[in-house]
Chain A
Amino acid sequence: MTRGGYIALGLEGSANKLGVGIIRHPEGSPVAHHTGAEILANIRDTYITPPGEGFLPRDTARHHRNWIVRLIRRSLEQAGLASIDDIDVICFTKGPGMGAPLQSVVVIARTLSLMYNKPLVGVNHCIGHIEMGREITGAINPVVLYVSGGNTQVIAYSKQKYRIFGETLDIAIGNCLDRFARILKIPNNPSPGYNIELLARKGLTKPENFIQLPYTVKGMDISLSGILEHIENLAKNNDGGKYAPQDFCFSLQECLFAMLVEITERAVAHVNSNQVLIVGGVGCNLRLQEMMKIMVSDRDGSIHATDERFCIDNGIMIAHAGLLSYRMGDHVKDLREAVCSQRFRTDSVWIDWRDD
């Protein structure tokens, strides 16, 4: 080893993004809130379907299998590592996510682990997002809003666990946006959510075209399927083309994000924190960040968000969270533990690398 510290390889493929990352932690306590991590490589390849179509598990898994070995090779080159032997630990996404894509990645993780005799660490995808967000933004003990294609949760840390304060009762926010994009045939490249954001940024064609949607907050939780059905019906029977795509996108974003801000504010008040960290693919949305900022600054707090490199699923967050866990002495002892599970709750992970 030419460099001190620890180097981890992270492999992520729980949905339509395949990510490979290599991270280095300098020596020092892993219990410190910020490890001073150095990103050696962070590469992603996204499986993009034609407008109007979603990504299916089998096709997504095939995409991941096609690319993963090449991405690992490229990440080693980018990191300036000669071989996988220079890596201390191999981390993979254990779940939650789609079964077939997760499986396509874990097979590679197991193979490399046996070939190079390297320890394996299975990482909870949500914990990956949270820990990477904390590392990048410097937020110490934030309320976390985790919003992506598969998850919508408001999370706060207490006693070695990231506890879920509120979540969606049906579909994830990103799923709601993606499915709406399919109705209007909004392109999936680079992502449907980003294209909705761009359309919404144009604003309403006229003020009276704001569409009232069934805003649904239930205590700490939200429900999104009713909103999706409502706007889908309107979009399908758009009488005489009354509404332009930007009217739909603007109204949908305003309603959904207002709900997210409301449940986040309730959690912030509850845990007496004034930091809000937004993670997950939908977290790159600048309008969401802006609305959250209005709420947080009313409470003299600060908002922490990252850009697409870290918000959207990536391998580096898996490497980072896996390395934290490895440095606390956790890793797979029997290869039969190196399996994925489609369901894996954020609050089922014991966070031993925090001492607060």
Chain B
Amino acid sequence: MSAVTLSLSIPMQSARQADISKRVMEADPILKENEISVDYKTDNTMLTVDFAASSDRILRTVVNSTIESLKSVIECFDEFDE
């Protein structure tokens, strides 16, 4: 399955933000489990996302949608974190 892999490391402003992003993102079920795996980890303020997919086309799709959602999460932090 893991023909292609990619790892993203995203520094957050706090360990709490990293933890919230992980929990928000993990809630979504992975639709094609035999073709994609997405794994979230946090280390202090760093959020790491490990992707593995059966083809580069699928990898690109899942990385794109993950980044789009993460952008929303971060915008929420920027606007509403007090």
Binding site for B on A (CB under 8 A): 61-62, 65, 68-69, 72-73, 83-84, 103-104, 107-108, 110-112, 114-116, 335-336, 338-339
Query: What is the predominant secondary structure among interface residues of chain B facing chain A?
Result: helix
- Cβ-defined contact, B79 with A69, below 8 A: yes
Q: With A and B bound together, what is the CA distance between A246 and B23 in angstroms? A: 53
How many angstroms from the CA of A108 to the CA of B72 in the assembled complex? 7
Q: What CA separation (Å) do A322 and B27 show in the bound complex?
A: 20
Is the CB–CB distance between A336 and B27 below 8 Å?
yes
A68 to B73, CA, bound (A): 11
B23, B73, B76, B79: the one within 8 Å of A335 (CB):
B23
B38 to chain A, nearest CB (A): 14
What are 30 sample pairs from A and B whose C-beta atoms fall under 8 A apart?
Answer: A61-B68, A62-B68, A65-B68, A65-B72, A68-B72, A69-B72, A69-B79, A69-B80, A73-B79, A84-B80, A103-B69, A104-B72, A107-B69, A107-B73, A108-B72, A110-B23, A111-B73, A111-B76, A111-B77, A112-B76, A112-B80, A114-B20, A115-B80, A115-B81, A116-B80, A335-B23, A336-B29, A338-B27, A339-B27, A339-B28
Q: Chain B 45-82 against A: per-residue CB contact (8 Å), 1 yes, 0 no?
A: 00000000000000000000000110111011101111
In the bound complex, do residue B29 and residue A108 qualify as a contact, i.e. CB atoms below 8 Å apart?
A: no
How far, in whole Å, are A41 and B73 apart by their CA atoms in the complex? 23
Is B4 part of the contact surface with A, judged by Cβ < 8 Å? no
B10 nearest CB across to chain A (Å): 15
A93→B82 CA distance, assembly (Å)? 26
Residues of A within 8 A of B81 (CB): 115
**CA A72 – CA B29 in complex, angstroms?**
26
Contact residues on B (Cβ < 8 Å of other chain), bracket:
20 to 34
Complex Cα distance A83/B76, Å? 13
Q: Beyond the given A111-B76, A115-B77, please list 4 additional residue pairs across the A-B interface where CB-CB is below 8 A.
A: A69-B76, A107-B73, A111-B20, A339-B28
B24 A110 Cβ-Cβ under 8 A: yes
Which B residues have a C-beta under 8 Å from some C-beta of A? 20-21, 23-24, 26-29, 68-69, 71-73, 75-77, 79-82
In angstroms, Cα B27 to Cα A62, docked, is: 21
B47 to chain A, nearest CB (A): 13
Whole-angstrom CA separation of A61 from B71 in the bound complex:
13
**Chain A residues within an 8 Å CB radius of B29:** 336, 339
Instruction: Name the CB-closest residue of B to A84.
Output: B80
Are the CB atoms of B79 and A65 closer together than 8 Å? no
Q: Which residues of A contact B28 (CB under 8 A)?
A: 103, 339
Residues of A within 8 A of B21 (CB): 111
CB B70 to nearest CB in A, in angstroms, measures: 9
Most chain B CB within 10 A, of A84, A107, A339, is at: A107
Given A69-B79, A73-B79, A84-B80, do A111 and B27 touch, yes or no (CB 8 Å)? no
User: Which residues of A lie under 8 Å from residue B80 when comparing CB positions?
Assistant: 69, 72, 84, 112, 115-116
Known contacts A65-B68, A65-B71: does B76 contact A108 (CB below 8 Å)?
A: yes
Residue with the highest number of chain B CB atoms closer than 10 Å, among A83, A104, A110 = A110
Which residues in A have their C-beta under 8 angstroms from that of B76? Answer: 69, 108, 111-112, 115
